[in-house]
Amino acid sequence: MSPVKINIRRLCVLLVIYLNPTLSLRSGSSFTLKLIRFRFLRTFLLPVACCLLPIASFSQSPTIKTIVDKTDILIGEQVKLTIKANFKSGIFKISQLIMPDSIPHFDVVDKGRQDSTTYKDNSKAIEQTITFTSFDSGKWVIPAFRINFDPLVDDTTLNLFSDPVPINVSYSPPDSTNQLRDIKPIIEVSLSDYTWYYIGGCIFLLLLAVFFIWMYLKKRKREPAAIIGSRLSPYEEAMQELKKLEQYDLQNAVEVKNYHTKLSDIFKQYLGRKQNQHLANRTTGDLLIAMAQNNFRQESISTLATALRCSDAVKFAKYQPTMVETEDCKSRITGTINLMEQVLTPKL
């Protein structure tokens, strides 16, 4: 009989005696029974316990799995490397995947992001997919990447590495058939004629330009609307408004500005009513040119220009005139209105 069969028979006898302590032995000694139990523990239970202990410990340790979608690529083609880490979330926590700044013969297209999954048994899986490409032909290896697992109850960090992955980078295989291929036929191309579209667009733009020119000329030829004034004559109204200027306080800067604004408006209102035109938006230069074109003497134009320009400086340049200058402007405007009332005809 072989030794293996003898050991199996002895192991079975020891198991029966251990499980049935009341079984009578040939020697009838309790010491012999204890010795048999000790031998059974040493022979059977102790090795089994030693085998199960590493398995239980291994089930608590984190694991790393490396997956690649292809191992043969063409130059410039992309390959996806997936790294999956499994661990107990109540025992470990994981840090970021540690990658070098550059990998020989490979370029990182996309590092991807980490996706985590938690299972019912309190285990957790973190997965990250990294996309590589290569422009160097040959057989290269994507190196192993380190992942740090930090235990929650201990300060010792567990460092695990992914598997290195060999990648074969090659050119596109040449055509081995050596067959001659015919020249492809000419493809008919349909041409669109946009000539009439261009002609229609030019005609439309021309008509639009003619319309705007006609509207502009029509607006210029339109007769000015009659100015609705007071019942007083233009001269009487101007003198009445000039009289009201005496109520302004010339020591106040705001009152002085309003004074000169009103003084300029009085002259525009007078001249506009005399000519039946709206002159409120006319500038000082427009008024002086109009007077020059209507044969007013240069001396009268210069007198009016001094008063109007002083008023413009007060309104727009924040000039602060003295009381003497303010009264002089009023005097010049009054004199110009008196002169115009004497010599002005219905149209300049």
Domain-located, residue 229 = no
Amino acid at 121: D
What is the reported pLDDT for 203?
95
Domain that holds residue 44: 3-60
> What's the confidence (pLDDT) of residue 344?
63
User: What pLDDT, on a 0 to 100 scale, did the predictor assign at position 52?
Assistant: 45
The answer to the question of residue 262 being in a domain is yes
Is residue 32 located within the same domain as residue 120? Answer: no
pLDDT at 202 over 70: yes
Q: Is residue 202 one of the residues assigned to a domain?
A: no
Cα–Cα distance, 238 to 305 (Å, whole number) = 18
Please check whether residue 195 lies inside any domain of the structure: no
pLDDT for res 269 = 87
Choose between 38 and 64: higher pLDDT: 64
Residue 243 lies in a domain: yes
pLDDT at residue 3 tops 50? no
311, part of any domain: yes
Beta partners for 117?
A: 125
**Whole-structure pTM over 0.75, yes or no?**
no
* pLDDT for res 75: 92
Same domain, 52 and 68: no
Which has more pLDDT, 250 or 9? 250
Residue 344: phi and psi, rounded to 5, are -75, 135
Domain boundary, last residue among 60, 77, 94:
60
Give the pLDDT of residue 54. 44
Q: Tell me, what's the pLDDT at 57?
A: 43
pLDDT of the residue at 27: 43
Alpha-carbon distance 273 to 224, whole Å? 12
16 and 81, same domain (yes or no): no
Mean pLDDT of the region 133-142? 92
- Asked, for residue 118, whether it belongs to a domain, the answer is yes
The pLDDT tens digits of the residues spanning 209-241 come to: 999 999 888 877 655 544 555 678 888 888 888
What local confidence, expressed as pLDDT, does residue 209 receive? 94
| Residue 137's CATH number | 2.60.40.10
Q: How confident is the model at residue 311 (pLDDT cuts 50, 70, 90)?
A: confident
> pLDDT tens digit string along 61-117?
788 899 999 999 999 999 999 999 888 877 777 766 777 788 899 999 998 888 888
- Of 41, 60, 79, which marks where a domain is finished? 60
Q: How many residues in the chain?
A: 348
Q: What is the pLDDT of residue 13?
A: 52
Looking at 43, 60, 77, which one is the last position of a domain?
60
Report which secondary-structure segment, H or E, holds 270.
helix 253-275
Say if 18 falls within a structural domain.
yes
Residues 79, 159 within the same domain: yes
- The strand pair at 72-74 and 165-170 is best described as parallel
- Residues 254 and 298 reside in one and the same domain: yes
> Bigger pLDDT: 330 or 219?
330
Q: Count of domains in the chain?
A: 3
pLDDT of 25 higher than 50: no
What pLDDT shows up at residue 45?
53
d(CA 142, CA 122): 32
Cα separation, 227 vs 221, whole angstroms? 18
Residue 254 belongs to a domain with what CATH number? 1.20.120
pLDDT the model gives residue 324: 86
**Cα angle: 252, vertex 257, 261; to 5 degrees:** 145
Is residue 260 over pLDDT 90? no
pLDDT of residue 204: 95
